Amino acid sequence: MSKFLKGTFILLIAGLITRVLGFIYRIVLARSIGEEGVGLYMMAYPTFILVVTITQLGLPVAISKNIAEAEVRKDYAEIKKILVVSLATTISLSIIITPAIILLAPILSTTLFTDQRTFYPLIAIAPAIPIIAISSVLRGYFQGRQNMRPSAISQILEQLVRITLIAVMTKAFLPYGVEYAAAAAMAASVIGELVSLGYLMTTFKLKKRFPLRKNFFQFAQQGKQTFLDLMEIALPTMGSRMIGSVAWFFEPIVVVHSLAIAGVVAVNATKLYGSLTGYAMPLLMLPSFVTFSLATSLVPAISEANSRNNHKLIAYRLQQALRLTFLTGGLAVIVLYVLADPLMQLMYGSTKGAYFIRLMAPFFLFYYYQGPLQAVLQALNLARAAMINSLIGAVVKTAVIFLLASQASFGITGAALGIIVGFVLVTILHFATVLKKISFPFNIRDYLKGFLVMGASGWLGFWLFENILLKEHLVIRVLTSISGMGISYLVLLLLFGLIKKDELHRFPWIGRFF
């Protein structure tokens, strides 16, 4: 099995475990601090993502790409320069940004957000900034060498620590107020990131090919060209993420102010936003662990192929990624659409948010495509084009949210529609940009077959859920329906020739059954 497939498979398994653990975290969080607490948490979380994006400066992708190219040349001195320059850059930025977020928290909570209680979660996120800055550099290093195991294990460790601490910490602080409980949830995430960093540093020390601290400042001073090479990829990449992060940062602000125009009071707006982004969106984004794994593996794999001018291999790996995205994303869409209400009831003890899942699930197939397409653009030195596409999508999304959510007839549904329009537009623009650079066959007949398989499997899942005899046992009904959809989906894919047996042979454990 190739390094690309092996790395993707490792990240897929880790991504699945991480997302399941993340859902357990969300469930515990929702049950511990309620809809209002989740709303406060989710209002502060985009700020956290924004400051992390600024601190990382787009370096993880640039590190992965440049180290993959240096590995081909066996230039270990350059690899050390890449690490040294990246660490020096991110640590310097975190030293500036961490105190800045602490000082700005009172202003952000009182002026931009309509709920002043966001001050406490905002303060709680500050210690995570330097931790994530260093972790991201180490992850980029391992990914550049196409060794995905350390990144995978570190993500699992981080989630395990969060889940272990969340119930205890929120319970301890909830008597003081829901805002303190939301801040405690943020603090649990910070401790999880710290444990993850400890593992990455230990693994790097055990497997390093060179002493990092030896002549650190000398390498930093000699790394001007290395810094420029990194920035050529990092800045447009950061631009894309910055646009997404800024749009996400303003999203709760635009939503709550739009809802206020529509006549919704602040507390209710917080609850509605919590239902959309704290309940529905995590479930819709759960399958994206597949596309995240593909995107992470694609950057070094395609960079390596591009450095050798192997355009045939680039097209082949892109086709692999798009097919896997469609097949896994298709199953996720039908499961979420058919079982929106029972899934929400099982996870959160409430069906709030199920409406948003049914509304958004059919369009989320576009969202699942976005990660791999953006990774390809970054690996082919088209990060600037990806940034422009993201900017267009962010502007359109924000405008649609404001126009629709401010009308009483749409309300929070307008926010959901704006989010859909944003990611669908960005995916279409990414795909058009890739087609300009790489010519590869696009088999429409296979996609039509795929939609037919989705429809048939979805109908079977709905029939099983509605007609199973044990109607009082919701868990059994949901598991039966999911199993029926999954089995029928795989069988139909094999019958229609959308998956070949020889392709399944390549995967460990799974291949032996075929």
Distance CA 300, CA 61 (A): 9
In the DSSP assignment, the letter for residue 167 is: H
Which of 442, 477, 504 is the endpoint of a domain?
A: 442
The confidence score (pLDDT) of residue 454 equals 92
Distance CA 261, CA 355 (A): 23
> Are 293 and 363 contained in the same domain?
yes
Distance CA 226, CA 510 (A): 42
> Are 435 and 451 contained in the same domain?
no
> Are 437 and 474 contained in the same domain?
no
What's this model's pTM, rounded to 2 decimal places?
Answer: 0.69
The total of structural domains in the chain comes to 2
Q: Within 13 Å and on the Cβ side, how many CA atoms surround 255? A: 30
> Are 194 and 247 contained in the same domain?
yes
Q: Which of 456-464's residues contact partners 24+ apart within 8 Å by CB, and which partners?
A: 456/488, 456/492, 457/331, 457/334, 457/485, 457/488, 457/489, 457/492, 458/334, 458/337, 458/338, 458/485, 460/484, 460/485, 460/488, 461/334, 461/335, 461/338, 461/339, 461/485, 462/338
The confidence score (pLDDT) of residue 470 equals 67
- Is 216 a domain residue? no
Identify whether the C-beta of residue 185 lies closer than 8 Å to the C-beta of residue 26: no
> Are 286 and 182 contained in the same domain?
yes
**Interacting residues of 502 by C-beta distance below 8 A, sequence separation 6+:** none
* Short-list 199, 474, 491, 468, CA closest to 331: 491
The confidence score (pLDDT) of residue 78 equals 81
Question: Is 48 strand, coil or helix?
Answer: helix
Please give the residue range of the domain that contains residue 340: 3-211+221-442
> Are 266 and 333 contained in the same domain?
yes
pLDDT digits (tens, 9 = 90+) for 309-340: 777 888 888 887 888 888 888 998 999 999 98
> Are 431 and 470 contained in the same domain?
no
Positions in the chain short of pLDDT 70:
1-9, 11, 113-115, 208-221, 223, 245, 248, 265-267, 270, 469-471, 500-514
Backbone angles phi, psi at 441, to 5 degrees: -70, 140
pLDDT digits (tens, 9 = 90+) for 206-260: 876 666 666 666 666 676 788 788 888 777 777 777 777 677 677 777 887 788 8
